[in-house]
Homo-oligomer: A and B are copies of this chain.
Amino acid sequence: SLAAPAIAQESPKVRWRCTSSFPKSLDTIYGGAEDVAKYVREATDGAFDIQVYAAGEIVPGLQAADAVSNGTVEMCHTAAYYYVGKDPAWALGGVIPFGLNARGMHAWLYYGGGLDLLNEFYGTQGLHYLPAGNTGAQMGGWFRKEINGLADMEGLQMRIAGLAGRVMEKLGVVPQQIAGGDIYPALERGTIDAAEWIGPYDDESLGFYQVAPYYYYPGWWEGNLSLCCYFNQESWQSLPENYRSLLGTATRAATTEMLAEYDYKNPQALRRLIDAGAQLRAYPQDVMNASFTAAQEVYAEINGENEAFKKIYDSMMQFQSETYLWQQVAEYTYDTFMMIKQREGALAGQQAGGNQ
């Protein structure tokens, strides 16, 4: 290796603020922004310094993208579907009901043209978009009473937002938008019958199992959730090329990191929840099928009136049929076999007296 003395580089001092849509208590998802900031700060020896602010410190969590658009802050870390009220097309940078899983999302974003299509849309909002972090497939929510079939969904007051709420409405569910901290008392009082949140690790901290013990899966509205950074376009363009490249690298790294962190923490949390009395249940097939059909109706409605949505949606859906063709071969068959061994208690870790 040839090491020469330090020389002056094009590394201007840049200090940015990043507003997160998440509280620090959701440490994994909030940690996505901290990961990006850390990777960038360390690589530049502190020259490019991003300070992360939790939801509410600068603006409320659901206004993160607006704070970036209007230049209050240079960037945010958020979930794209929080902004479907502006335009349903926003959701496509996060996830849509019966959309892609995490592997499919990343393949579509980075190789299937997704990133360019999304940036074409977000560009009209004054933003540059980079995916940053993923939760994997989420859970389907907590219910006060067991759901034995589609009829049991009728009339339920459920805390569920965005496009998923619109799909649920077609099943007779009454969607409610309630902030995280207000869900527990609403479930306890019976003001709502059910609530979806994220997955075992994050759900555990809010204690839902104590008041709504039936824990359903899968969260068909979040087969993955791709978190993202939005950058103010002028701020983004003001960066030197090396810093822009570094943000691309740091956000990709944050994706590996967050998924790994959830995949490590969720099994432990799931075990604790079950020990504490949570009742794990699969959604009945008629609920899954009716939800799928209802989602296609919602998409037909949106596509009929929203060209921006349709253009991105068509690309994502074309890739979806492609990716599931492949994933069902080696990946799924391998996992199926291993899960059968897990249920038999035959895995080496189980034979060694580990968890059953």
A residues apposed to B, CB below 8 Å:
1-16, 39, 42-45, 47, 74, 98, 101-104, 106-112, 136-140, 199-200, 217-220, 223, 235, 238, 240-242, 245-246, 248-250, 252-253, 255-257, 259-261, 263-268, 270-271, 280, 282, 288, 292, 296, 299, 313-314, 317-339, 341-342, 346-352, 354-356
Q: With the chains together, A313 CA to B98 CA distance in Å?
A: 37
Closest to A261 in B: B111
Closest to A49 in B: B2
B107 touches A263 (CB 8 A): yes
- A354 → chain B, closest Cβ, in Å? 5
| Residues on B with beta carbons closer than 8 Å to the beta carbon of A351 | 296
| Residues on B with beta carbons closer than 8 Å to the beta carbon of A138 | 330
B220 touches A264 (CB 8 A): no
Q: Which 6 A-B pairs have the closest CB atoms?
A: A111-B264, A252-B253, A107-B263, A42-B245, A218-B334, A321-B349
- A344 → chain B, closest Cβ, in Å? 10
Q: With the chains together, A289 CA to B218 CA distance in Å?
A: 29
B13 touches A218 (CB 8 A): no
Instruction: Find A45's partner among B9, B106, B333, B341 (CB 8 Å cutoff).
Output: B9
Q: With the chains together, A340 CA to B68 CA distance in Å?
A: 41
Q: With the chains together, A349 CA to B108 CA distance in Å?
A: 13
A263 touches B347 (CB 8 A): no
A348 touches B296 (CB 8 A): yes
* Oligomeric state, in copies: 2
Q: With the chains together, A85 CA to B350 CA distance in Å?
A: 29
Closest to A73 in B: B1
Q: With the chains together, A323 CA to B268 CA distance in Å?
A: 9
Q: With the chains together, A333 CA to B285 CA distance in Å?
A: 11
- A63 → chain B, closest Cβ, in Å? 20
- A55 → chain B, closest Cβ, in Å? 21
| Residues on B with beta carbons closer than 8 Å to the beta carbon of A267 | 322-323, 325-326
A1 touches B74 (CB 8 A): yes
| Residues on B with beta carbons closer than 8 Å to the beta carbon of A342 | 321, 324-325, 328
Instruction: Find A317's partner among B12, B218, B299, B348 (CB 8 Å cutoff).
Output: B348
Please name 10 further chain A to chain B contacts, defined as beta carbons within 8 Å, in addition to the given A7-B12, A104-B263, A321-B355, sorted by A numbering: A3-B12, A9-B44, A9-B47, A43-B43, A107-B260, A250-B253, A263-B327, A288-B337, A318-B355, A332-B335
Instruction: Find A101's partner among B139, B257, B334, B341 (CB 8 Å cutoff).
Output: B334
Q: With the chains together, A335 CA to B334 CA distance in Å?
A: 13
